Structure 1
């Protein structure tokens, strides 16, 4: 494992991230053949994953953005979820894929699933770049998963460290 400048070891390289996105996109193309999925990016952390995933899909799709927070500027979830930015477009009778950076405790994702189910999508599935099952308080079905990781604070590739380092092309951790 190499070290990121000023950071801990690189946990998942840029090449590994991009290869896994291609695999996830292929599975979504297969599952949604003949359909036009609506991919909702959970801001801010999923913006890079969402962008690269949409580009890799190579099929008709629409996008939207939703921002929820249970962290603020902290490293630990407060457990209280709030919607910061709501959807711009209706999702009734749409095939929706909620694109998230990391499923940690599952509290935020559980809240978002119930929130979006109330809007009547035809289907609602989750694509997450990362999952930390050891931290799970609420079980969440992640249909399209990038990587399972241990309980460590990670950042890069959209995930922040006190709002910095989202622009790193890989996933790293603090030592």
Structure 2
């Protein structure tokens, strides 16, 4: 199914979001290509899976095509990852009538927590929760794709210092 994705991404300053957290999902995801367009496979809670293809259009917008696939096939595709498999738990957090996704990373990126909000348009101005840190929309080092492609384990201590301690290690 085709959709247009417009989102903003932020570092998370503290655990204040947890009191409003709803459902969570454990995600394993990997990228199957390193070209400009992204092909991602994702396993959700070990029970469902999807294949997503993203094309950057303009500004914050991306065309996104997502297809449900069998979990067994997704697990096999993870073995063909171009780079590392990203592991994280995603929490749905309601703030001011809007749903935020808060990703708590595990594995190589343990200690990193990011929040994203999907918007109807680039002009959308959601109310920002106090638990947010610095906005990192467009900062490639915080994109899942770039993290998956990193050739070495990242130094989150350096990131924490650069980002004013927003990363809890």
**Shorter-chain TM-score above 0.5:** no
Greater RCO (CA < 8 Å, at least 6 residues apart): 2
Instruction: Give 1 or 2: higher strand fraction.
Output: 2
